């Protein structure tokens, strides 16, 4: 069996200064934004600068049977990119170039380490943009978006990452490079392996490039509607009424009373009314003004106190309240940030279930929702105790409450994760949603790509 020191020596011999064995780098690679950290330190962090660097790393990993965990910016919320004892952390963050922009074909070819915000800043010069907009767009990488199948604020109108990727370049565990997908809008040759890779969380290969489907910048104005309701169920019912009306907002975000109160406190705003929940909705395009007025009428009919602004800057200030959710939660304690989705018409019922779980388990669960697509983010706050290995364990009582909430989402026809992925935190429930037969079939698929099981082991499909 190859020793850890020999693995590192082989990496250094081929990759030189791209191999970082400093304690600070290895410690940082243990965790993401989920609050979970892997046990122990990885052997090294490889800062890949080229496709060749990735291939060489994986060839060494295959020869020495060493696990590899691929990382982007570390903004994930499921523990999927956390590297621990005996593993190589393969960082793609330095591969951040835009390789090609084709305005005539509405596509771009990029490396995985580029940030969403940086990509769109560059595309704006061509009158283009890439639609996926996670709330962490300023710090999240395109490769991480693809690996987790990320969503975000604009999904209801502009789709999720899966809708905005034409192809990926993938390095397999043995170092082979595959070019998957097409540069064409249509393409049905063979199996759709691009879609299989999207959301695979590093278990099938390492994404080293992506061909992205772009949009032209939306002409016209942007209008923002802010509405407060006496309770979260009323706000959820109002969001369902907006969806049923046929008007398609670009953004529709819901904050319950606890989350709204925490953000107001963080931003030093006047406290909201007790129990108040808030909907923040944006419309865009040539019909934005008319659509905003129609939405405002629907919200008022549903009992909301409504304000409409046609000023883009004021609209962004209102959205800052929603985008500040995570730092606001961090001030309340250790947070288990969860992610379930239900059919949009079931959103009020899911908030009823959250209230029941709070009552039955004696916990408060501040919750925000991408109300336009039925995706909720319940936040379980607890007093985290750091263990001997530096990790924070979620108390069993919190997992019991989460288990109750997950099963409620499944009963309503929903899913365990709408955009965060499975990673470490959701793997124990995966078979409950998929069923045993599909769970086993999916695990067998990962073994076709990675026969030795060295890519992100223990994530998603755990024994």
Instruction: State pLDDT tens for residues 238-279.
Output: 999 999 999 999 999 999 999 999 999 999 999 999 999 999
0.85 exceeded by pTM: yes
Count of CB atoms within 10 A of residue 336's CB? 24
Please compute the mean of the pLDDT values over residues 325-348 and round it to a whole number: 92
Local structure of residue 277 (DSSP, 8 states): E
What is the per-residue pLDDT for 1? 64
Where exactly does CATH 3.40.462.40 map onto the chain? 221-411
For strands 305-309 and 277-285, give the pairing: unpaired
Q: In this predicted model, what pLDDT tens digit does every residue of 1-34 receive, in sequence order?
A: 689 999 999 999 999 999 999 999 999 999 998 8
Strands (E) located in 155-247? 165-171, 177-181, 206-213, 215-216, 221-229
The helix or strand, by DSSP H or E, that contains position 313, with its residue range, turns out to be helix 312-323
d(CA 88, CA 6): 13
d(CA 165, CA 183): 10
Percent of the chain with pLDDT over 90: 88
Please compute the mean of the pLDDT values over residues 304-317 and round it to a whole number: 93
Cα torsion 437, 442, 448, 452: sign: negative
Please compute the mean of the pLDDT values over residues 181-201 and round it to a whole number: 96
Asked if 33 and 78 touch (Cβ cutoff 8 Å), the reply is no
- Chain centroid to Cα 214, Å, comes to 20
d(CA 338, CA 368): 10
* Confidence band of 229 (pLDDT split at 50, 70, 90): very high
**pLDDT of residue 51 exceeding 80:** yes
What is the per-residue pLDDT for 359? 97
**pLDDT of residue 107 exceeding 90:** yes
End-to-end CA distance of the chain: 24
Please compute the mean of the pLDDT values over residues 100-127 and round it to a whole number: 97
Where exactly does CATH 3.30.43.10 map onto the chain? 4-91
Does residue 363 sit in helix, strand or coil?
coil
What is the per-residue pLDDT for 50? 98
* Confidence band of 387 (pLDDT split at 50, 70, 90): low
- Find the radius of gyration of the CA atoms of the chain: 22
* Confidence band of 385 (pLDDT split at 50, 70, 90): confident
* Confidence band of 82 (pLDDT split at 50, 70, 90): very high
4-91 to CATH, choices 3.40.50.2300, 3.40.50.150, 3.30.43.10, 3.40.50.720: 3.30.43.10
**pLDDT of residue 305 exceeding 80:** yes
Count Cα neighbours of 56 within 13 Å in the Cβ-side half-sphere: 19
What is the per-residue pLDDT for 137? 77
- Chain centroid to Cα 276, Å, comes to 27
**pLDDT of residue 42 exceeding 90:** yes
d(CA 116, CA 120): 6
Asked if 57 and 402 touch (Cβ cutoff 8 Å), the reply is no
Please compute the mean of the pLDDT values over residues 348-354 and round it to a whole number: 97
User: For residue 234, what are the CA distances in angstroms to 124, 153, 226, 320?
Assistant: 38, 21, 14, 23
Local structure of residue 454 (DSSP, 8 states): -
Where exactly does CATH 3.30.465.10 map onto the chain? 98-216
Does residue 193 sit in helix, strand or coil?
helix
d(CA 109, CA 339): 30
**pLDDT of residue 388 exceeding 90:** no
> Per-residue b/e over 51-88, b at no fewer than 16 CB within 10 Å?
bebbbbbbbbbbebebbbbbbbbbbbbbbbbbbbeebb
User: Any idea which fold 221-411 has?
Assistant: Vanillyl-alcohol Oxidase; Chain A, domain 3 (3.40.462)
Bin 156: left if φ > 0, else alpha if -120 < ψ < 50, else beta: alpha
Please compute the mean of the pLDDT values over residues 305-319 and round it to a whole number: 92
Tokens found for residue 269 = 């705003």
Count Cα neighbours of 297 within 13 Å in the Cβ-side half-sphere: 8
> Per-residue b/e over 266-303, b at no fewer than 16 CB within 10 Å?
beeeeebeeebbbbbbbbbbeebbebbebbbebbeebe
Does residue 414 sit in helix, strand or coil?
coil
Bin 461: left if φ > 0, else alpha if -120 < ψ < 50, else beta: beta
Bin 448: left if φ > 0, else alpha if -120 < ψ < 50, else beta: alpha
Count of CB atoms within 10 A of residue 443's CB? 17
**pLDDT of residue 427 exceeding 90:** yes
* Confidence band of 391 (pLDDT split at 50, 70, 90): low
The domain 98-216 having CATH identifier 3.40.50.1820: the answer here is no
């Amino acid at each position: 069996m190859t020793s850890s020191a020999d693995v590192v020596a082989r990496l250094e011999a081929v990759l030189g200064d791209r191999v970082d064995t400093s304690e600070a780098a290895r410690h940082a690679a243990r965790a993401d934004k989920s609050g979970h950290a892997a046990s122990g330190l990885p052997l090294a962090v490889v800062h890949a600068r080229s496709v060749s660097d990735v291939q060489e790393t994986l060839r060494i990993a295959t020869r020495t049977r060493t696990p590899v965990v691929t990382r982007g910016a570390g903004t994930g919320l499921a523990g999927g990119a956390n590297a621990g004892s005996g593993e190589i952390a393969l960082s793609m963050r330095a591969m951040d170039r835009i390789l090609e922009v084709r305005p005539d074909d509405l596509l771009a070819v990029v490396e995985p380490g580029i940030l969403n915000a940086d990509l769109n800043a560059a595309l704006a010069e061509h009158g283009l943009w890439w639609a996926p907009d996670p709330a962490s767009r300023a710090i999240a990488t395109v490769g991480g978006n693809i690996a987790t199948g990320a969503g975000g604020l604009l999904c209801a109108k502009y789709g999720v990452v899966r809708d905005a990727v034409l192809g990926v370049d993938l390095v397999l565990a043995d170092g082979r490079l595959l070019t998957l997908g097409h540069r064409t809008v249509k393409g049905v040759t063979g199996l759709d392996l691009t879609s299989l890779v999207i959301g695979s969380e590093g278990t099938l290969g390492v994404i080293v490039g992506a061909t992205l489907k772009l949009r032209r910048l939306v002409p016209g104005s942007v209008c923002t509607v802010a509405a407060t309701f006496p309770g979260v169920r009323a706000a959820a019912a109002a969001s369902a009424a907006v969806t049923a009306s046929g008007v398609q907002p670009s953004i529709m975000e819901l904050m319950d009373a606890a989350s709204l109160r925490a953000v107001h406190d963080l931003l030093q705003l006047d406290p909201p009314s007790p129990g108040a929940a808030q909907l923040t909705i944006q419309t865009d395009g040539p019909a934005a003004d008319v659509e905003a007025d129609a939405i405002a009428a629907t919200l008022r009919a549903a009992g909301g106190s409504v304000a409409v602004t046609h000023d883009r800057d004021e609209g962004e200030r209102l959205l800052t309240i929603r985008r500040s959710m995570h730092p606001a939660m961090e001030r309340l304690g250790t947070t288990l940030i969860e992610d379930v989705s239900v059919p949009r018409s079931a959103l009020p019922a899911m908030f009823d279930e959250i209230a029941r779980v709070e009552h039955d388990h004696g916990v408060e669960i501040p919750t925000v929702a991408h109300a336009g697509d039925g995706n909720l983010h319940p936040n379980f706050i607890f007093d985290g105790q750091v263990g001997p290995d530096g990790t924070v364990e979620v108390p069993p009582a919190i997992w019991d409450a989460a288990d109750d909430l997950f099963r409620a989402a499944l009963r309503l026809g929903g899913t365990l994760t709408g955009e965060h992925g499975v990673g470490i935190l959701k793997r124990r429930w995966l078979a409950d949603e998929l069923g045993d037969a599909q769970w086993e079939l999916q695990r067998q698929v990962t073994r076709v790509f990675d026969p030795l099981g060295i890519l992100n082991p223990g994530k998603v499909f755990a024994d």
